[in-house]
Amino acid sequence: MLWRSPLPHFIASVHFTSTGRMATDSPTSTAPKPPPSPSTTATATSTTASTPDQLPIRPPPQQTHHQDGPAAFDIVRAYHDLLATDPDITMPVAAIESLIELLRATPSTTAMETVEVVKKEKARLLASAPNPLPLLAGADLFEQYLLRSLRGQAASASDPILNFDETRAHLLHNSQLFAQRAKADRDKLALVGSKYVHNGKVVLAAGGSRVVTKILLRAAADPTKHFKVILIMDGSPRSAASVAALRHAGLEVETISPNKVAYVLKDQSQIDLVLVGTEAVLQNGGIVSRMGTFQLAHLTKHVKGALKRFFVAAETHKIVRKTALAHPQVLRLGINQKDISRFENVGRERGEISAAAHDMVAEQDEVDYTDPEFIDGFITEQGVKMTTQIWEMIDDYI
């Protein structure tokens, strides 16, 4: 089955009925109605707020200014506000929602003018991030959806073809549901991944990845499985919360520091699965993730002992059309972090490296690149994919 972008999936899964009530079934062939007046919108919002089976909607960011246009809209602030108000939102989805808020602040002119505004603000958002790859994944999906709409292409054969005004209205009506759809995909991913956690075995996991934690919690809910977890405390701010959640679910969880990884891999023969999350999946099947991921993948393959699989848990909206071709790879990918390979900063503190040091990735958030040859598979909401399938997935869409 050919892969479709998750962004059209988000959009196709939510529409408004003729009564103004939000529905979550697939859209019918009836063309969407034009955007309602502000009073109608307020009435619809009031009506849907009391509907018990409706997904919860996060209120839109406070900084949008409809009357002032894009010049008064700060997309960087909107992005950070979204991350601050919803700790479970991913960076790609936050980038998508901030671009939708940009549309809300942009007067409805011509389609091409709006696309130019989106391109300009997308570039500004990416330039503001020391590690732009996760943002690029979401922003590219959003831009491609707009371009598809302008070309008169639907997300799938069963979806109606929307013109630009209808597309814009659809996005604005349903902007707050993107995070909800992403969380739903995370639940699907957890169900898929839980099948790879085996009874009587030990899972070695890294950091506080939300999707990895979801997989382990889903597996723990299966009464036929009794397994243990060793969690590498890699400095992630979510690591402690992950340990607490897993222990609360009744799992035996041991924590180790990164310098004990090789020892544990060799000594603990019951480990059959090494599980990590990632910030971005590159089109060649490699990943950019927290510093130490490449070391963990390398040790998993080369430390003697029982066969161990190295799996990456990642939502498909984290796939980005980039490939690492040269060393140091992450710097060539546009990630601004300290480069120790040139010995240019010997004896200097981090704050003394350059005047732009504050724009670098914080040391605890630095990332590395893991080659696809070390990865056994990707656990996604669409099933488990091999590294060679990533190129096909992204090529089928863009």
- Residues 64 and 85: their CA atoms lie apart, in Å, by 15
pLDDT category at 328 given cuts 50, 70, 90 is confident
Structure tokens at 323: 């490939």
The answer to whether the peptide bond before residue 258 is cis (omega within 30 degrees of 0) is: no
126 pLDDT band (50/70/90 cuts)? very high
Beta bridge partner(s), residue 311: 275, 377
pLDDT tens column, 3-27: 444 444 544 444 333 333 333 333 3
Question: In b/e form, how buried is each residue of 25-40, taking b as 16+ CB within 10 angstroms?
Answer: eebeeeebeebeeeee
pLDDT higher at 356 or 319: 319
Q: Are the beta carbons of 11 and 170 closer than 8 angstroms? A: yes
Q: Which residues contact 347 (CB under 8 A, 6 or more apart)?
A: none
Going along the chain from its start, the domains and CATH numbers come out as 6-175 (no CATH), 186-397 (3.40.50.10470)
Predicted TM-score (pTM) of the model is 0.78
Handedness of CA 39, 40, 41, 47 (dihedral sign): positive
What's the number of CA atoms in the CB half-sphere (13 Å) around residue 215?
32
Categorize the per-residue pLDDT at 395 as very low, low, confident or very high, splitting at 50, 70 and 90.
low
Question: What is the pLDDT, as a whole number, of residue 339?
Answer: 79
Helix (H, G, I), strand (E, B) or coil at 117: helix
Strands 202-206 and 271-276: what pairing?
Answer: parallel
Q: What is the C-alpha to C-alpha distance for residues 256 and 264, in angstroms, rounded to an integer?
A: 9
**Using 50, 70 and 90 to split pLDDT, how confident is the model at 69?**
low
